[in-house]
Chain A
Amino acid sequence: MTAHPAPTAPLRERRFPRVRGEPHGAARFTSLVIASAVLLPIATILFIALSGSGEAWPHLLRYVLPQSLGTTLLLLGLVATGTAITGVGAAWLVVGYDFPLRRLLSWALVLPLAVPTYLAAYAFGEFFHYVGPLQTALRAVFGFESARDYWFPDIRSTWGAALVVTSVTFPYVYLTTRVVFLMQGRNIADVARTLGARPARVFFRILLPVARPAIVAGLALVMMETLNDIGAVEYLGVRTLTLSVYSTWLNRGSLEGAAQIASVMLVIVFLLLTAEQWARRKQRFHSARGTQMHVRPPRLRLAGLKGWLATGVLSLPILSGFGVPLFVFGRYVSRRLYQFADPQVLQAFLTSVAVAGVTALATVIIALLLLNAMRLSRSAYTMGLVRLASIGYALPGTILGLGLLLSLAAIDNAVDQAARAYGGFSTGLLLTGTAASIVIACTIRFLALAESAIRSGLEKLPPNLDQAARSLGKTANQSAMAILLPLLKPAILTAAILVFVDTVKELSATILLRPFGFRTLATHVYENASRGVVEDGAVAALLIIATAIVPVILLSRPLMRDHNT
């Protein structure tokens, strides 16, 4: 089916016309090189999986997979529902209506992105625990004496994990959906309204279908983030596939078996991505003119109580995804303020920023190259490669890191051997002995984020811009540099910021791959938390959140420019 065609400016176009007569061997070649580099760790994992004997499978099939697959799917379903409702609902309110504190809330809704799931899980565990502030207050109010006097939902459950993951990942859906609502939703919505449609009808019949590709893109990111999470599910005792990967590998000493389960996860990801493609099929909405991105029709005003109700409802996800972690870690930090002067913490902060900066830059460049190859050659081959290049995001960081470690170390050792044989000197471990491996790992991991953010920007551009430039004599590359790149600036910025934030939060691959003396904020927290002394990592935890907030606010700024003109 196709969505209701927009009566005004937005027009539907199948795709960028493929340019004939120009050789695109270079673009193809670039995409091939990049994709194979990105696929290196995944291929390594698959290779390990295939080298295994499969002796673990009778056990896995009987006792592990049915249960953990079920739990994983339930978790995915709950998180998908939760993030879709929260993200889309918030975007709809913020874009279409005016109510108290709207502008503040519109960017504060992005803040939960700054909180890594492993910290959120811990914070929720403490906050909702018997000795936590909520239950203590309940007991004080109602006069309960012990846990046996009343019922309280257990956060250490699949539902609890879904709440935690939803709370910190819904901004992905919020961000992608909001852009669509901002850019064209309101024009169409206004037309529908003037024709007499009620708000609910406008929302379900017009806005939702128009935003579907964006919602699905956001959801795909959320799903992959849920799949790769280990911190939250481990802490909350939820037996997902990811957890089974670890117990097979570490407790039964079977890396092959672990790689085989990871391969099962890749199949799920592949299905997810296919579903995403399917949901986006034939759905392309472009603005007709570039200027349209800046013209905003007025919002509907919610007066009085209704307005405050909207304010209250929108504060809930912020309180949950940002307020709770801030509260829990803030309390620990208040007893450890001196740690801010700790040179180790400071060094970890600088390292985090440097690694995240380099990674963001590298990832965005690679994503642009891939998308350019896709724009020039829409063959199934190129498309397939680009798709494949983004599945690294869904693998648990340690598994991806391990695949990368094994392949990079093999390269390192081969180079070293060659240097010894022919040059008589040793190069040592060029990649795995330095921070290069971490940048590579994070780039591969977060390529999906950058690719998705830039692609959705690219798809919103009217294709006739590119066509016009080329018909005026520019080559495909000149057109890309002079016309598309400047117009894509907001999308590129978004991509860079998302990658930056996720790299600051990244833990498991960094732990596995880092060289001596290399400490990021996340590893600093973990060094403390892994012994059960999370409190001592609280300052670094808060710094992670703070480091991530700055770019998150930057991210909101271009989106803030939706004031009435």
Chain B
Amino acid sequence: MLTNKLIAARTGLAALVAAGTLAATLPAAQAEGTVNIYSYRQPFLIEPLLDAFTEKTGIETEVLFLDKGLEDRIAAEGSNSPADVILTVDIGRLMNAKEKGVTQSVEDETVNSEIPSEFRDPEGHWFGVTTRGRVVYASKERVDQDTITYEELADPKWKGKICMRSGQHNYNIALFASMIAHHGEEKAEEWMKGLKANLARKPSGNDRAQAQAIYAGECDLGIGNTYYVGLMINNEKEPEQKDWAGAMKVLFPNSQDRGTHVNISGMAMAKHAPNRENALELMRFLGSAEAQSIYAETNYEYPVLPGAEVSETVQSFGEIKPDSLPLADIAKNRKAASEMVDRVGLDDGPAS
């Protein structure tokens, strides 16, 4: 039948055009003078850094943003993996990458001189490039005190007053892991039960939603990362977010004793990096003063390079005293922390 043939011809043509379009979107991932990055960090966040890198070295960058399964993908790709550098957040993920065998050791004088030893793997499999504090957001109106401890969050005086995101989120898991490392599992579990009893509502949303909730009067305290506050204060497009940030103050927990829990964002060299030299060049750059100040200015994180300045916004929160607990101890306790969250039923909220 003529019409059938016509339909077939048309569909065929459509398929060809579509396939052509697809092929056109495929870049040359392994061209000379490039470095391939598998990143858990958002592209627009690292874009200014990578632009500066390319300008300085002439090496082009290709970024693939991946969240869940980044390590699994590199492992599956095996020796054919195009990945050179892995950029990710959270110590647990960095250690996981090492354990999965998708990273390689880097011994480089420049990198080691830039990044203090407490922020890197002793065997050179991963390096921290920024830190972020897990702090307490407190309502300016309803909370008088200007200091707080994590331990205090379990105090019944806060009953029905605390908001947080899911206990299974890796930022909270790391915080709980640090509690286990400091107090042992039994005490940490007691503490978590107290925290659960103090919740104002079921854990949900992201860190910013907790600030919103304080503004709304749903809770007096929220747990969140420092840089979210910076993002809200400087949000010109949604000025209402400045009001949310304006309704609260940042308290650095335990600043009087062991210090505030910090986590890192970091980098690692992929095991089968096809462009090893370029990758090394990038790693050196990310630890340099120039890159560190871009990190500080665009995402309100703390640089790891000794002497590098934090942004003005972050300075306004006050001085941070980081907890000196080794990162490896946090990573070690993650599984226990995650199971504890289930056991306590933290994510069920205060009611049950």
Contacts and interface: CB of A to CB of B under 8 A. Distances in A.
Interface string B4-35: 10000001001100110110011101100000
Contact of A532 (B68, B204, B206): B206
B261 interface: no
Given A64-B342, A251-B168, A433-B82, A511 B65 contact: yes
Contact of B21 (A129, A350, A409, A416): A350
B117 interface: no
A535 B235 CA distance: 11
Nearest to B243: A131
A523 B65 contact: yes
Nearest to A508: B68
Contact of A351 (B25, B72, B80, B99): B25
A131 B216 contact: yes
B125 interface: no
B69 A428 contact: no
B2 interface: no
A140 to B, nearest CB: 15
Contacts of A530: 42, 67
Given A357-B18, A405-B76, A63 B342 contact: yes
Interface in B91-121: 92, 96, 99
Interface stretch (B249-257, B280-288, B315-323, B333-341): B333-341
A211 B29 CA distance: 52
Interface string A136-163: 0000000000111000001011000000
Contact of A156 (B62, B63, B202): B202
B69 A405 contact: yes
26 contacts: A130-B218, A156-B204, A235-B204, A237-B166, A239-B348, A246-B168, A250-B68, A350-B21, A350-B25, A361-B11, A361-B15, A398-B69, A405-B69, A405-B72, A409-B78, A428-B80, A429-B80, A512-B69, A515-B64, A517-B29, A518-B25, A523-B65, A530-B67, A532-B228, A532-B231, A535-B237
A253 B66 CA distance: 17
B205 interface: yes
Contacts of B14: 357, 361
B347 A239 contact: yes
A482 B201 CA distance: 62
A379 interface: no
Grouping DSSP codes into helix (H, G, I), strand (E, B) and loop, the A interface class, with mixed when no group exceeds half, is helix
Interface string B45-83: 100000000000000001111111100110011111110
Interface residues of B, number: 75
B72 A255 contact: yes
B184 interface: no
Given A253-B99, A416-B80, A428-B80, A235 B218 contact: no
Contact of A409 (B42, B66, B76, B206): B76
B65 A354 contact: no
Given A237-B202, A239-B348, A527 B43 contact: yes
A67 B78 CA distance: 38
A146 B99 CA distance: 50
Contact of B26 (A243, A250, A434, A482): A434
A545 interface: no
Q: How large is the interface on A (under 10, 10 to 19, 20 to 34, 35 or more residues)?
A: 35 or more
A527 to B, nearest CB: 5
A335 B69 contact: no
A535 B204 contact: no
A401 to B, nearest CB: 7
Contact of A251 (B45, B72, B81, B173): B173
A406 interface: yes
Interface stretch (B129-137, B144-152, B207-215): B207-215
A63 B201 contact: no
Nearest to B167: A247
Which of A250, A410, A428, A486 has the most B CB atoms < 10 Å from its CB?
Answer: A250
A488 B148 CA distance: 68
Contact of B338 (A247, A335, A426, A533): A247
Contacts of A250: 68, 170
A354 B24 CA distance: 11
A402 to B, nearest CB: 6
B36 interface: yes
Which 4 A-B pairs give the minimum distances between C-beta atoms? Answer: A237-B204, A130-B216, A251-B338, A409-B76
Contacts of A336: 237
A528 interface: yes
A434 B29 CA distance: 10
Contacts of B66: 511-512
Nearest to A364: B11
B218 A485 contact: no
A517 B206 contact: no
Nearest to A533: B231
Given A239-B348, A251-B173, 12 more contacts: A64-B342, A235-B205, A350-B25, A357-B14, A409-B76, A429-B77, A429-B81, A433-B82, A435-B26, A511-B68, A516-B29, A532-B231
